[in-house]
Amino acid sequence: MSQPLVRNAREIARWDAQADVVIAGFGAAGATAAIEARAAGADVIVVERAGAGGGSAANSGGVIYLGGGTPTQKACGFEDTPEEMFKYLMAACGPSPDEGLVSAYCDGSLEHYAWLVDRGIRFRPRFAAAELGADECPGLVYSGTENAWPFNEIARPAPRGHYSADQGLASGGVLMQTLTQAAMKAGAAVHANTRCLALVVESDGRICGVVVRAAGEQSAVRARGGVILTTGGFISNREMLARHAPWLLPCTNVVGIEGDDGGGLMMGQAAGGVLCRMDAADISLPIYPPLQLRKGILINRHGQRFINEDAYMGRLGEFALLHQQGRVFLVVDDAIFARPEYLEADIAAVGETIAELEADLPLPSGALQATLSFYNEHAAKGRDPLFRKKAEYLAPLAQPPLAALDLSVDVVPYGVLTLGGLQIDTAGAVLDRDGDPIPGLYAAGRTTSGVCKGGYSSGLSIGDSTFFGRRAGRSAAARAIREREARPG
């Protein structure tokens, strides 16, 4: 029988532990929430189902999306403002991103950068033209589609992908070691190998604790100020994917860990929280590195282009999977031929002429010939009238043999990360269906629907997890302190 996700406080015979703030999950959002709650004067218990903290963030590339004119951006010679960052994110993180969350994130980005640096995170002041394929820490990169169409016409391009390492290979491991240690040093009590099973609710609707399981035993932990859910997303829960975003099921590169089982989302929902944009995901199709492959053309099953190939891999994947049913080919000529470094792509066809290539592909007769003849004619003049790919990636595909790589979703591993979750306000409070905060319940990171409501740029997940994790920590602590001061005696 499945466990209840919400328990009534009356059923709790004994509180086995208590703290002002109880945090479920010790990853990017949980660690930052713990640091800030401690700094605000709250005592904190963190329950973490794994043997140690770090979460998915510890396995990550450690890129954090920061902007508005950070010292790293300035040192690399880039101008940026919170307004330009806002323009980009509102256009790219949609459709219809949450203006309040995006605005708070952009306005607070410089302060967040400084806070991370104060906690010991180092950012290398070196700009790298390509995000991927570097054998050492690239420093600062364009980690989305800032510098390609259509967004380079909407906002002034600025690289905002900050690698959180100053030497060697970039690594989320270093980031999370730094943040989890900072949380423990600040005095957060971490209960590892302890899984949060349910929220405990008072009769008036306030969330006042959690039920956990450790070593097969259940116990109850009281939260005087609030509970913060930071248990990651639901990419590892096939049933939830089938219900909310079945088109993600064929994507085999799961960007997450076993803990991304949707548990926090379900607990929050059972307590009255609203789930938002559960279909949103980062879907990545890394056709490059090497960068020369941006000079190829991506075509759909009608033999037509559908995007500028210099867009970010998350945009390429989204367009390929959601708009083209995940059935796409990358057409290249001998001058640029290579296999994408991160995809084991099959060669679907080779031909000395376009007609020969087309004959071996499942395309309507003449379609690829029409596409290539139009593309080559304009590429020779450094133009892409359809999708405005940048001139540096434009050259006629004319040197035989031509080849088509099969980049269909059932052939190569598209990467997926879920972006839907509990709806929060800018303070990290979980909202109910009327848009009101649920007293005592907070959340951050992939348990929530954060800054991205679709379109993704690398670094935004750790970015909004750490940013709103901090806010949730401060809010829960402030509530605990208010309650403490209001108590008689």
Ligand X SMILES: Cc1cc2nc3c(=O)[nH]c(=O)nc-3n(C[C@H](O)[C@H](O)[C@H](O)COP(=O)(O)OP(=O)(O)OC[C@H]3O[C@@H](n4cnc5c(N)ncnc54)[C@H](O)[C@@H]3O)c2cc1C
Q: Which residues sit at the interface with ligand X, rule CB under 6 A?
A: 24-30, 47-50, 53, 55-57, 59-63, 172, 195-196, 230-232, 255-257, 259, 263, 417, 445-447, 458-463, 465
Cα 391 from Cα 410, distance rounded (Å): 32
Cα 454 from Cα 97, distance rounded (Å): 8
The single-letter code of the amino acid at 23 is I
Minimum distance, C-beta of residue 173 to ligand X, in the bound complex (Å)? 11
Minimum distance, C-beta of residue 233 to ligand X, in the bound complex (Å)? 7
- Taking the least distance from each CB to ligand X, the nearer of 38 and 160 is 160
Q: How buried is residue 330: exposed, middle or buried, by Cβ count under 10 Å (0-12/13-18/19+)?
A: buried
- Taking the least distance from each CB to ligand X, the nearer of 38 and 49 is 49
Cα 292 from Cα 271, distance rounded (Å): 51
- Taking the least distance from each CB to ligand X, the nearer of 329 and 342 is 342
Minimum distance, C-beta of residue 68 to ligand X, in the bound complex (Å)? 17
- Taking the least distance from each CB to ligand X, the nearer of 163 and 329 is 163
DSSP 3-state assignment of 171?
Answer: coil
Q: For the chain, first and last CA: distance in Å?
A: 44
DSSP 3-state assignment of 208?
Answer: strand
Nearest CA to 463 out of 153, 106, 11, 53 is that of: 106
Minimum distance, C-beta of residue 33 to ligand X, in the bound complex (Å)? 9
Cα 6 from Cα 238, distance rounded (Å): 23
Half-sphere exposure of 239 (CA within 13 A, CB side): 4
Determine the length of the chain.
489
- Residues with Cβ within 8 Å of 233's Cβ and at least 6 positions away in sequence, in order, are 256, 260, 262, 265, 417, 418, 419, 420, 421, 445, 446, 447
Cα 223 from Cα 43, distance rounded (Å): 10
DSSP 3-state assignment of 253?
Answer: strand
β-pair partners for 45: 22, 189
- Taking the least distance from each CB to ligand X, the nearer of 261 and 333 is 261
- Taking the least distance from each CB to ligand X, the nearer of 249 and 335 is 249
Minimum distance, C-beta of residue 377 to ligand X, in the bound complex (Å)? 39
Could you give the residue ranges of the DSSP H alpha helices within 420-488? 460-486
- Taking the least distance from each CB to ligand X, the nearer of 371 and 457 is 457
- Taking the least distance from each CB to ligand X, the nearer of 50 and 336 is 50
- Taking the least distance from each CB to ligand X, the nearer of 174 and 404 is 174
Minimum distance, C-beta of residue 336 to ligand X, in the bound complex (Å)? 27
Minimum distance, C-beta of residue 151 to ligand X, in the bound complex (Å)? 18
Which pairing describes strands 6-8 and 194-201: parallel, antiparallel, or unpaired? parallel
Minimum distance, C-beta of residue 347 to ligand X, in the bound complex (Å)? 27
Minimum distance, C-beta of residue 282 to ligand X, in the bound complex (Å)? 8
